[in-house]
Structures are given as structure tokens and as C-alpha cells.
């Protein structure tokens, strides 16, 4: 693993493991590495191996939970942290029943000061790690809750702020391997029912809130605007999320633009619905 390159991408230098250092790493990651699934929109499969995810991150791209938490957990291990990967399940809406369907890779980190919930793969999730103990936690204008899981004995439940794009997630207590997510990753990457296939979403979290580009709608900390040209769309992708058009061929940029226009028109025309990806 290119630890130096990864830390440079985060704008940080190596330091001994500590709760303060973990907070800096986590905050820098969600601020600088976007949550996105543009490879899925382009019909290209992505490997689960953290090394492959890191290579994409170092090129200026991001990923979704398997990629981001997979690469971040590998970085933390290289830096000396005790990291555990867990099977998780994101609940996209109140109509979804909580479960561990492996649509999310969750992370915990054990330090002498206690165990922390770490997650840089939620898009609009928390900005800094949360202590893994039952309670309510406030970060900026967002309020989160941690409690024992009702569907995974010995596991935990994260309840998102009501303004979030998903309701929450549960995760099992035992360790998981990247291969445990392969089947679900294939489904999320290819199924017409997958939120990642149905709608193009890019997100970035900072201390003040969340930036989201969903199809043609740019939401900057609650202020929405419609992006009406491919030039403006790619400007937003670059200026807000750090995804520059030079990372894609002209044909790829044209394909992505056609798809986000179609997704927006389907939603506005009433033939589609607001879709929230599940991991």
C-alpha cells in the first residue's frame, strides 16, 4: 500500500495511532475523497480489493462503501490501528426492515481509549468517528444515535439524522472479509433495481454539512440548484467533489451526461422516484 500517497491525498502526515489522529484521518477522508459510483454508471465492474480502490482514489476518484471503507481500513492497519471490518445493512427508508444483508461494509477501530465506529463510505454520514457506546451524538447540525442492534445480537445500530439520505444501518459483531461482500457488490453494480444503477449520485461531507449532486440537482448544504448543461455539470463535479472531466474520455463524459438527463427527466416526469443508494 502506498501509505505516503494516500496520506498526501488526504493532506496529512503519518502520526502514531490516537483518537485525535483518527479523527483527523476520518474528517480528511470524507472531505477529500468523494462518495461516487460513476464506474457503475458507465457499466464497468470494479474489484473489491483495497489496493484497486486505493489506485482509483490516488487518481482523484472515490467510490462507495466497499471501496472507501475497504481502502481506509487497509490504511489504518498500515498506520498501526486495530481495525475490524463488519457485515452491515443500510436501511434506505422507513419502509425497509433493518437487516444484515451485506449491502454495507462497516468498520470499528479499537484504541486504548475505547472502541470507535469509523465510516468514510456513507456519503452523507458522520464527519468524525463515533465512540462505540450507546448514546446520542451531535456533529454540527446533525444528531446521530448509537444503540445495540435488534437484528444482529451483539452488534450495533446507527440511527441517522432525520435529514440524512438513509435511515440508518446495523452491523454484526464479528469480523468480515472483503470476499464476504462480493455477491452483494455484483448485484449493486449491475441490477436494474440497484440505486447505484438507477441514479448517479456524488456526495462529499464536511464539518458544516453535505454536498450532493443527484442526477442534475446540486444540493450544497441545503441550497439546491438545477445544473442545466454538461459544462456546468462537470464544473460542479470538479469544483465541489474534485472529480475532474480529464479523468474520463469524451465518450464517457457524453454517456454520463445523457444518463443524468434521463434520470432527472424520469423523476420530474413522474415515471421514476428519488432513489437512495444502499451502501
Q: What is the pLDDT of residues 210-238, one digit of tens each?
A: 999 999 999 998 899 999 999 999 999 99
CA distances 162 to 3, 103, 210, Å, are 36, 21, 14
Average pLDDT, integer, range 180-189? 97
* Residue 272: per-residue pLDDT: 39
Q: Is residue 95 part of a domain?
A: no
Answer yes or no: is pLDDT of 204 > 90.
yes
Segment 22-69, tens digit of pLDDT:
999 999 999 999 999 999 999 998 999 999 999 999 999 999 999 999
Q: Are 168 and 156 in contact (CB under 8 A)?
A: no
* 220/140 Cα distance (integer angstroms): 15
Q: Is residue 161 part of a domain?
A: no
Q: Is residue 143 part of a domain?
A: no
Q: Is residue 244 part of a domain?
A: yes
Q: Is residue 226 part of a domain?
A: yes
pLDDT band of residue 269 (cuts 50, 70, 90) is low
* 87/85 Cα distance (integer angstroms): 7
Average pLDDT, integer, range 179-183? 97
Question: pTM here?
Answer: 0.94
* 50/178 Cα distance (integer angstroms): 9
Q: How many domains does the chain have?
A: 1
* 17/77 Cα distance (integer angstroms): 10
3-state secondary structure labels for all residues of 260-275: HHHHHHHHHCCCCCCC
* Residue 273: per-residue pLDDT: 39
Amino acid at each position: 500500500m502506498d501509505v505516503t500517497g494516500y496520506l498526501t491525498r488526504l493532506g496529512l502526515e503519518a502520526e502514531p495511532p490516537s483518537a485525535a489522529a483518527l479523527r483527523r484521518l476520518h474528517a480528511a477522508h470524507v472531505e477529500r475523497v468523494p462518495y461516487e459510483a460513476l464506474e457503475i454508471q458507465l457499466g464497468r465492474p470494479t474489484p473489491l480489493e483495497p489496493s484497486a480502490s486505493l489506485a482509483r482514489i490516488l487518481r482523484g476518484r472515490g467510490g462507495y462503501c466497499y471501496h472507501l471503507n475497504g481502502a481506509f481500513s487497509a490504511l489504518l492497519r498500515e498506520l498501526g490501528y486495530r481495525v475490524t471490518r463488519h457485515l452491515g445493512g443500510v436501511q434506505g427508508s422507513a419502509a425497509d426492515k433493518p437487516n444484515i444483508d451485506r449491502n454495507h461494509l462497516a468498520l470499528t477501530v479499537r484504541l486504548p481509549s475505547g472502541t470507535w465506529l469509523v465510516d468514510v463510505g456513507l456519503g452523507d454520514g458522520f464527519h468524525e468517528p463515533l465512540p462505540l457506546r450507546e448514546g446520542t451524538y451531535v456533529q454540527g447540525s446533525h444528531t446521530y444515535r448509537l444503540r445495540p442492534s435488534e437484528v444482529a445480537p451483539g452488534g450495533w445500530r446507527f440511527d441517522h439524522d432525520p435529514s440524512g439520505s438513509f435511515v440508518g444501518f446495523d452491523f454484526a459483531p464479528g469480523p468480515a472479509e472483503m470476499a464476504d461482500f462480493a455477491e452483494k457488490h455484483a448485484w449493486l453494480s449491475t441490477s436494474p433495481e440497484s440505486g447505484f444503477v438507477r441514479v448517479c449520485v456524488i456526495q462529499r461531507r464536511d464539518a458544516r454539512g453535505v454536498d450532493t449532486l443527484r442526477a442534475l440537482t446540486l444540493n450544497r448544504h441545503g441550497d439546491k440548484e438545477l445544473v442545466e448543461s454538461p459544462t456546468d455539470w462537470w464544473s460542479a463535479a470538479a469544483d465541489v467533489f474534485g472529480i475532474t472531466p480529464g479523468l474520463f474520455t469524451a465518450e464517457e463524459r457524453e454517456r454520463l451526461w445523457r444518463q443524468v438527463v434521463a434520470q432527472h427527466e424520469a423523476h420530474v416526469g413522474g415515471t421514476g422516484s428519488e432513489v437512495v443508494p444502499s451502501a
